[in-house]
């Protein structure tokens, strides 16, 4: 079943309000086995809303609208929908009484415009709102020679979610033409989207109408969303198992977990299981590694602390970086990164030291060391090393990428120790 989403409101177009409704509904519908084919946002313009309803009604079996159901003059969704489906508005006295009680319970006077909330297009079912005053609307109609399901929900996220889960989802689950969608997410680290796709190669022997793979990149790594659609749940799971097995065999150490697990979660488990302690020496990341590590509950089991050695003088006096190394190679160099990692490991008396020194930008780059250059240092009782990586030209983004790369370096080093 194809679904189209129409989110309505000037505030969404101008960025005054973030449109979270479309993302939330898209995920919910896809999990029900629907093909979310299109999502579009329009302002409070009756002609544009009418155009988009008509466009979606020609193709989609399900059309969900959010926004514009309030009592103010710019809330026009109800009127446009009523006009499009030739369903005159009527006042539902039961809903009006409910709205009065809603305001009375809150010791608020019923606004004169609130009666608009009780207007319902003829032939539409109402969907109770467990959170707010505005009810949702539901309609089944024949449009453009096809049977269509139409849901109209408030734009306030809490109200929209409450109505959808209580009233819309049960209606959709009754549909016989839905195939349940089973999802699985693999979390990767230390490899970019393009390199990951190249590593996986041709998956056409597995992927198809009932099995899909999506790449979801972020500064923390790439998540792989596996989706299997089938009325037979066991068959769907078997398809996911085969695809996951192929991905793990091709990607190897870069797969770090499943679901909502994070890089810092995985690294924390590795440190705890190995009985290791860790400290960070941070220049380019400015304390972000420490922040990431301590975002995990129980991180005091392994994380001892950090030295934010931004200035060269602090690198020397606190971490013991040699002045000669800075003079000869520069602060952003292999030698300095190694000495920073060794220095924090020694000063804080830990098993593992990790360090970052780089050029986050947007200034400070040179032809030899452009913006986005970072040296990542690692030191334990067995060996010390540093690796250079090159990222982007955005300062904030670079800091996130530097920190992720440093955490992943530690993770891979500890994994290799156990092999």
Residue-range domain boundaries for the chain:
2-173, 181-258, 263-418
Q: What is the pLDDT of residue 105?
A: 85
Q: What is the pLDDT of residue 179?
A: 61
Instruction: Quickly state the pLDDT bin for 234 (edges 50, 70, 90).
Output: confident
* Pairing status of strand 89-91 against strand 119-121: antiparallel
Q: What is the pLDDT of residue 419?
A: 64
What pTM does this model have?
0.73
Rounded mean pLDDT, 331-346: 98
| Structure tokens, 399 | 């800091």
pLDDT tens profile 352-405: 999 999 999 999 999 999 999 999 999 999 999 999 999 999 999 999 999 999
Q: What is the pLDDT of residue 180?
A: 64
Instruction: Count the Cβ atoms, other than its own, within 10 Å of residue 123.
Output: 14
Cα separation, 106 vs 220, in Å, equals 44
Cα separation, 256 vs 254, in Å, equals 6
Domains 2-173 and 263-418 belong to one CATH topology = no
Instruction: Count the Cβ atoms, other than its own, within 10 Å of residue 185.
Output: 16
**SS in 3 state form for 262-305?**
CHHHHHHHHHHHHCCCEEEEECCCCCHHHHHHHCCCCHHHCEEE
Q: Which residues contact 68 (CB under 8 A, 6 or more apart)?
A: 8, 9, 44, 49, 74, 75, 76, 77, 78, 155
Domain covering 263-418 in this structure, CATH number:
3.90.950.20
Q: Which of 44-53, 204-213, 284-293 has the lowest mean pLDDT?
A: 204-213
CATH class of 181-258: alpha beta
Q: What is the pLDDT of residue 30?
A: 84
Q: What is the pLDDT of residue 231?
A: 73
Domain covering 2-173 in this structure, CATH number:
3.40.980.10
| Structure tokens, 177 | 């033409």
């Amino acid at each position: 079943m194809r679904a189209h989403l129409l989110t309505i409101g000037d505030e969404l177009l101008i960025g005054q309000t973030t449109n979270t409704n479309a993302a939330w509904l898209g995920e919910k519908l896809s999990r029900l086995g629907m093909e979310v084919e299109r999502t579009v946002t329009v302002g409070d313009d009756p002609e544009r809303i009418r155009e988009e309803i008509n466009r979606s009604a020609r193709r989609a079996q399900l059309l969900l609208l959010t926004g514009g159901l309030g009592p103010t003059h710019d809330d026009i969704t109800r009127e446009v929908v009523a006009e499009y489906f030739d369903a005159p508005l009527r006042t539902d006295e039961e809903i009006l009484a409910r709205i009065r009680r809603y305001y009375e319970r809150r010791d608020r006077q019923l606004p004169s415009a609130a009666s608009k909330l009780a207007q319902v297009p003829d032939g539409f079912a109402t969907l109770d709102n467990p959170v707010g005053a505005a009810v949702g609307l539901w309609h089944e109609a024949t449009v453009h020679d096809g049977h269509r399901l139409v849901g109209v929900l408030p734009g306030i996220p809490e109200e929209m979610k409450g109505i959808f889960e209580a009233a819309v989802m049960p209606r959709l689950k009754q549909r016989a033409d839905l195939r349940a969608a089973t999802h699985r997410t693999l979390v990767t680290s230390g490899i970019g989207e393009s390199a990951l796709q190249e590593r996986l190669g041709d998956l056409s022997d597995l992927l198809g109408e009932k099995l899909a793979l999506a790449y979801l990149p972020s500064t923390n790594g790439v998540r792989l969303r596996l989706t299997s659609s089938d009325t037979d749940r066991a068959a769907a799971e078997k398809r996911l198992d085969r695809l996951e097995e192929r991905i793990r065999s091709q990607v190897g150490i870069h797969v770090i977990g499943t679901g909502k697990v994070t890089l810092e979660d995985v690294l924390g488990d590795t440190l705890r299981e190995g009985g290791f302690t860790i400290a960070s020496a941070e220049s380019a990341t400015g304390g972000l590694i420490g922040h990431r590590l301590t975002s995990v509950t129980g991180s005091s089991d392994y994380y001892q602390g950090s030295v934010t050695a931004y200035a060269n003088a602090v690198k020397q006096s606190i971490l013991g970086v040699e002045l000669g190394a800075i003079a000869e190679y520069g602060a952003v160099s292999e030698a300095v990164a190694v000495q920073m990692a060794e220095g924090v490991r020694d000063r804080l008396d830990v098993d593992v030291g990790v360090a970052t020194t780089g050029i986050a930008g947007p200034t400070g780059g040179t032809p030899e060391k452009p913006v986005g250059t970072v040296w990542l240092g690692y030191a334990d009782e067995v060996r010390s090393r540093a690796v250079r990586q090159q990222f982007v030209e955005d300062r904030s983004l670079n800091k996130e990428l530097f920190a992720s790369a440093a955490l992943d370096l530690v993770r891979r080093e500890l994994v290799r120790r156990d092999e």
